[in-house]
Amino acid sequence: MKTMMVLSALCFLSLSLSAQDKVVDPKVTASVTEIVTHYLDLKNALANDNGGDAAAAGKEVVISLSKVDKSLLTSTQKKAYSDLADDAKENAEHIGENGGKIEHQREHFELLSKDVYDLVKTFGGGQPLYKDFCPMYGDKGGAWLSETKEIKNPYFGKKMLKCGSVKEEIK
Amino acid sequence: MIGIKKILAGMLIVFMAIQFIRPARNENGQAFSADAPNNFDIPENILTILKRSCFDCHSNNTRYPWYAHIQPIGWLVAKDIKDGKAKLNFGELGDLSPRRKATKLQEMKNRIKDGTMPLPGYIFLHRDARLSKADTELILEWIEDVDRIGKVLLKL
């Protein structure tokens, strides 16, 4: 009986812990919203084939990533955030440094898109977003996030601006 | 005339003095082995190329040339190693999450394609570290393979 009680107490504890991890401080979500805003600027610059604007937006992404107040995160959240943010930072830095090489920027944008998608899924994006996918990019296609339902492909720009479709609506 | 002699003597003293300020050496004494738990699974032929051309700045073991023991050259070498390891350390690549590995490999691919890595200054001094066309192709192919597998795992 005693062990049962201990076990159920432990069970309850672990449940309440994971529930706690699902609650995200609104200030964190607000910071993630800022990251997403700059990510979307970057996405639009790439869709316009503008490497210079993409580089500028990439630098803004880097700055906004450092603004998240990590003291508001639980330890599990902190771990998830660090992995995502470290990766996003590195990708955004490369985009920021390679204004003259838009294909490099796009390759890092693909990885950054995955990071930002997971950030939004974990911490909230603060706005409705669409996950788009274009099967023509690279070996197995590339995904990105957009604020509009209309497809504007950041991987091809005007070469194939309409390639892709909405795969998911994120609210 | 005496002025110039004094200046030269002064410079010599400074030069001798700075020889005593030696940066810590980047050597952990452990041979890199691709199947060590912390390391990344790298095939032998790729590992040979990486060891020769990349590991001096991107691992925990540098092969120091003789002039790296003369200051201030040693300081410059130490800085390159520090910067290099901060960006990519093959000795610790295995510790990273699949997401981080994918990003590191992507950057590696771009740098090699661009010819910005290995650093032109480094190649100038280490002729043997230059990547031949065949080396480049082998590495890029390997990255593509790893990347494909990695991205499937990541569901990118």
Banded pLDDT at B93 (limits 50, 70, 90) = confident
Strand order in the sheet with A129-134: A142-146, A129-134, A165-170
CB pairs below 8 Å between A and B: how many?
41
Task: Give B-chain residues touching A87 at CB under 8 angstroms.
Answer: 97, 99-100, 103
Give residue A66's Cα distance to chain centre: 14
A83 has a chain B CB within 8 A of its CB? yes
Cβ contact, residue pair A111, B102, below 8 Å: yes
Cβ contact, residue pair A83, B102, below 8 Å: no
pLDDT tens-digit profile of A52-61? 999 999 999 9
pLDDT tens-digit profile of B19-53? 877 777 777 766 666 555 556 677 888 888 888 88
Banded pLDDT at B148 (limits 50, 70, 90) = low
Helix (H) or strand (E) holding B124, with range, is helix B120-125
Selecting from B100, B114, B151 the residue whose C-beta is nearest the C-beta of A87 gives: B100
Give how far A6 is from chain B: nearest CA, Å. Answer: 35
In three-state secondary structure terms, B137 is: helix
Cβ contact, residue pair A114, B99, below 8 Å: yes
Q: Which residue of A has its CA nearest to B86?
A: A90
Cα(A128)–Cα(A148) distance, integer angstroms = 9
Give how far B100 is from chain A: nearest CA, Å. Answer: 6
Q: Which of A75-79, A150-154, B140-144 ranks highest by mean pLDDT?
A: A150-154
Cα(A114)–Cα(A127) distance, integer angstroms = 17
**Phi, psi dihedral angles at A167 (to 5 degrees):** -100, -25
This prediction has a pTM of 0.76
pLDDT at A152 over 90: yes
Q: Which residue of A has its CA nearest to B97?
A: A83
pLDDT tens-digit profile of A120-150? 988 888 889 999 999 998 877 899 999 999 9
Please compute the mean of the pLDDT values over residues A109-114 and round it to a whole number: 93
